[in-house]
Structure 1
Amino acid sequence: MTQGWDLEPDDAFPGAPMAYDLAACLRFYSRLPVPRLPGEGDPHRVPDFRILPRMLPLAGLILALPSALILLVAWALDLGPFLAATLAVALATLVTGALHEDGLADVADGFGGGSTRERRIEIMRDSRIGAYGGVALVLSLALRIGALATLLDRTGALAALALILAASLSRCAALAPMVLLGPARPGGAGASVGSPDRRTIEIVSLVAVALVALGWSAGLPLAGMILMPAMALAASLVLTALARAKIGGQTGDVIGACQQVAEIAALLGLVATAPR
């Protein structure tokens, strides 16, 4: 039932395949308690990433809504840009269960501390965080908080929209290693979920263009709206190339790390063009 979006006779309601994929995205990328939908199969099944990412842009928007709300509330309470941005990033981390941050730390430890492909993969599978991973986490949090605080100072409430757009665009950009690389571990989890098909990539690209248009129409600078997806994709592609060189493929950690660097790049692209 999730192999496409054409309505099937046994679908529980119109648009059920889309709703199932959205629910699966939210379950996979967050700790949100998403209930089983009417007519849905096993909600804990292995995701099919050939088609599932079609709903990823919308899932990214939904996951960022709590952070955007707390950002606006803190700003309205006059807590200042730094505290408001810190609260927003903290809530974003709680919503996702630090899923992407964990991937970034593992990639930093593996790529920085391993001298061979096998050793790098072994380090990445270790649950402990080393010096490289710790530094990467601190820098990621600092850059995201700093960028959001700057946007609050320059654009006011529009910073909440910027946060939502960055969350969605970065998850789209993080599909790059799944499309361009095979699994680094043929027997790992990444090998069982598949790779986004062409139709899925086309849908994600169209949604990204729509997000850019939304941000521009809401008042964010056009140059920033162009730079956000461009820099997010560029950052993800750089890390994808590094993964090819270091471990010969992609893993879940690499995808999570791509989301982090893509979100940072997207926010910095907007900061660079936001009027002072």
Structure 2
Amino acid sequence: MTDSADSRASLGDGIRFAFGTLTVLPVRVARWDRAAARAGMLWAPLAGLVVGLFAAAVGGALALLDAGPLLAAVASAAVPAALTRGLHLDGLADTADGLGSGKPADDALRIMKQSDIGPFGVITVLFVLLAQIAALYELYGESWAQGALAAALSAVTARLALTLASRTGVPAARPGGLGAAVAQTVGMRTALTVAALVVAACAAAGTLFGASPVPSAAGAAHCALAAVAALAAAELLLRHCARRFGGVTGDVFGAVAETAATATLIALAVR
């Protein structure tokens, strides 16, 4: 579907779709069609920003209250999970089970659709959360500001990865569900434009990463590169899943988001 055909949804429709499907915030989705889905995926980074600011506020407050960097890190990792009811982590677990099963695409998709979580899913979620907490611990150990900023940026980058995953050329693996609703709704050029704008915003926020109060070019470059590296990691997973399953599902979208969030935090923790 072309960008012009999808452009009929209003700004409000898009924002409501983004918040209504990607968060548990009390937002009513007024429209559930391709036009609203396209607009919603374009505004997905905004939903990520709100989630990230909540995570940054809780973690930063704990750090400022001398609760310690570990508790601040755990809180910053827990808030996004709470604000999505663990939807993305559940998608990560299901995707890991499907990939780890080694079965043909149809069988793997059936495994992913089951309500239980297998050993691959448990292990993957465990190590992903440990990686997020470890990276946040290092950053909060540097300063509350670095930890809080990392929490916010990781949530934004995670949802930006969803915008890119919704681009044309990446089909749905099966009909029905959120994956089919948003698959191929965003034109490639539009997705890249949103990505460029969000990475530039990450670079602007990265000026806060300097060791002094003076805006830091190194901090800006660090944050921009972290966002790009995270999107690259998410893209590798997306392409592998598209080949393995014949397209994307809602579970794959969750796995892509968690991969981007984790990669952002790791990249920011690396000096």
Q: Report the TM-score when normalising by structure 2.
A: 0.86
Q: Does 1:74 align with 2:72?
A: no
Show the counterpart of 1:24.
Answer: 17
Distance (whole Å) between structure 1 residues aligned to residue 187 and residue 265 of structure 2: 28
Cα distance in 1, alignment partners of residues 66 and 177 from structure 2: 48
**Counterpart amino acid of 1:20?**
D
How far does residue 54 in structure 1 lie from its aligned partner after superposition?
Answer: 2.1
Aligned-pair CA distance for 1:199: 5.5
In 1, Cα distance between the equivalents of 2:205 and 2:38? 28
Letter in 2 for 1:232: A
Structure 2: distance between partners of 1:20 and 1:30: 15
Aligned length: 256
The residue aligned with 1:246 is 244
The whole-number CA distance in structure 2 between the counterparts of 1:234 and 1:209 is 13
Partner of 1:271: 269
Deviation (angstroms), 1:252: 0.9
Report deviation, 1:71.
0.5
- 2:71 equivalent among 61, 68, 83: 83
Q: Could you report, residue by residue, the CA deviation over 1:227-257 in whole angstroms, capped at 9, with x for unpaired residues?
A: 2122111111110121133212111111110
The match for 1:185 among 164, 171, 174 is: 174
Contact 1:57 1:207 in 2 (8 A): no
Distance in 1, matches of 2:142 and 2:20, equals: 34
Aligned-pair Cα RMSD in Å: 2.2
Specify the alignment match of 1:12 in structure 2: none
How far, CA to CA, are the matches of 1:52 and 1:203 in structure 2?
Answer: 15
Per residue, is there more helix in 1 or in 2?
2
Partner Cα separation in structure 2 for residue 174 and residue 45 of structure 1 = 17
| Partner residue of 2:203 out of 191, 213, 226 | 213
Structure 1 unaligned segments of length 5 or more: list them. 7-16, 37-41
Letter paired with 2:134: G
Residues 1:245 and 1:4: Cα distance change in structure 2 (over 3 Å): closer
**Of the candidates 121, 137, 140, which is equivalent to residue 128 of structure 2?**
140
Give the one of 162, 179, 185 matched to 2:150: 162
Q: Report the Cα offset of residue 33 of structure 1.
A: 1.1
Please report how far the alpha carbon of residue 208 of structure 1 lies from its aligned counterpart in structure 2 after TM superposition: 1.4
2:30 counterpart residue number: 43
Superposed, 1:89-108 pairs within 5 Å as 89-108=77-96
Q: What 5-or-longer segments of structure 2 have no aligned partner?
A: 211-218
Question: 1:237 maps to what in 2?
Answer: 235
CA distance in 1, matches of 2:176, 2:65: 51
The residue that corresponds to 2:110 in the other structure is 122
| TM-score, normalised by the number of residues in structure 1 | 0.85
Q: For residues 187 and 157 of structure 1, what CA distance do their matches in structure 2 show?
A: 42
Question: Partners in 1 of 2:178 and 2:84 — Cα distance?
Answer: 19
